[in-house]
Amino acid sequence: MGEPLEAPFWEKGLRVAGLDEAGRGAWAGPIVVGAVILPPGRYPFRDSKKLSPKERERLAGEVRRVALAFALGVAGVEEVDRLGVLEATLLAAERALKGLRLPPQALVTDYLPLPTSLPLLAPPKADERSPTVAAASILAKVHRDGLMAELDRLYPGYGFARHKGYGTPEHQEALLALGPSPVHRKRFAPVAQAPLRFPQDP
């Protein structure tokens, strides 16, 4: 990973929280943001998208073991529809930060411009250059995958446990056959254009 992005903060003795999200581009399900504070050091954490489910589960346990603090923030489907993806992601990030048992003194995110008075680094692909962001991405992905598996049991037929709500051909076919479920994001064009066949929430 080379020199960690947070190294200059660590050298100043600052507690750094890394944040990353899972689910921003999905057609269904919540957005989840992880926040992690690690002690200075070298870590094996990598972008969660490049890990197998088994590797993510194992590394999630390692993150929880070594972290000084960690938390998750969730924005539900109704909040994504009401606020839009970016604002819902910022809301989930705010919830994650509030959940940390230690207050951070600097932040690193994966291209997420948080409104904050703290020192902030938010470059693209930070999850490839920051162990704290990579750790946050792992926790967020593992948690959201678990939520999507539960939604698959509640709303069978869409394949949520497999594609996690993202726009795959299987998901598109299910939308056309079944119509949107209550956990689909109505703002997204493929959902908005799908025929209404599923009993909607009142």
Indicate the annotated binding residues for a divalent metal cation. 20-21, 110
DSSP state letters, 180-202: --TTB-TTSHHHHTS---SPPP-
- Nearest by Cα to 188 from 28, 30, 33, 79: 28
Strand-by-strand arrangement of the 16-22 sheet: 69-75, 31-37, 16-22, 106-109, 120-121
The β-bridge partners of 74 are 32
3-state DSSP call for residue 106? strand
From the annotation, which residues make up the binding site? 20-21, 110
Return the half-sphere exposure (C-beta side, CA atoms, 13 A cut-off) of residue 94: 10
